[in-house]
C-alpha cells in the first residue's frame, strides 16, 4: 500500500464556471466579493457541487435553507477558479 496523497480530479470547465459565479467573478475589480452558492437538489448544478465537495474544492452546509444546500469554496477550489490577474477577497479567505 502506498502512503502517497492522491490529488483530486481537476475541476471541470462547468465546475470552474460555477465556482466563479460563487465568487462573484468576473467583475471590473478582478476580485472576488463573496463565497457562496445556494442550490436545490433538483438543480442541474447540484451534482457538480457535490463532486467539488468530495474533491475538497468546496464545503457543503446541508439543509440550511429548507430545500436548499449551501456551498462555500475552499481556498483550493477558489484559487482553481481564478484567471490571471484576479484575486480573492481576504475577508472571505483570510488565510489565503
Hey, where are the domains in the chain? Answer: 35-83
pLDDT of residue 8: 79
pLDDT of residue 5: 64
DSSP string, 33-90: ----EEEETTSTTHHHHHHHHHHTSEEEEEEEETTEEEEEE-HHHHHHHPPTT-B--T
Confidence of residue 63 (pLDDT cuts 50, 70, 90): confident
Mean pLDDT over all residues of the chain?
92
pTM of the model: 0.89
pLDDT of residue 23: 98
20-43 tens-digit pLDDT: 999 999 999 999 999 999 999 999
pLDDT of residue 4: 58
pLDDT of residue 66: 78
Amino acid at each position: 500500500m502506498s502512503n502517497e496523497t492522491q490529488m483530486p480530479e481537476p475541476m471541470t470547465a462547468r465546475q470552474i464556471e460555477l465556482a466563479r459565479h460563487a465568487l462573484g467573478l468576473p467583475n471590473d475589480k478582478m476580485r472576488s466579493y463573496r463565497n457562496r452558492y445556494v442550490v436545490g437538489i433538483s438543480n442541474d448544478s447540484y451534482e457538480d457541487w457535490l463532486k467539488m465537495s468530495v474533491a475538497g474544492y468546496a464545503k457543503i452546509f446541508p439543509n440550511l435553507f429548507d430545500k436548499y444546500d449551501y456551498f462555500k469554496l475552499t481556498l483550493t477550489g477558489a484559487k482553481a477558479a481564478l484567471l490571471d490577474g484576479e484575486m480573492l477577497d481576504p475577508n472571505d479567505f483570510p488565510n489565503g
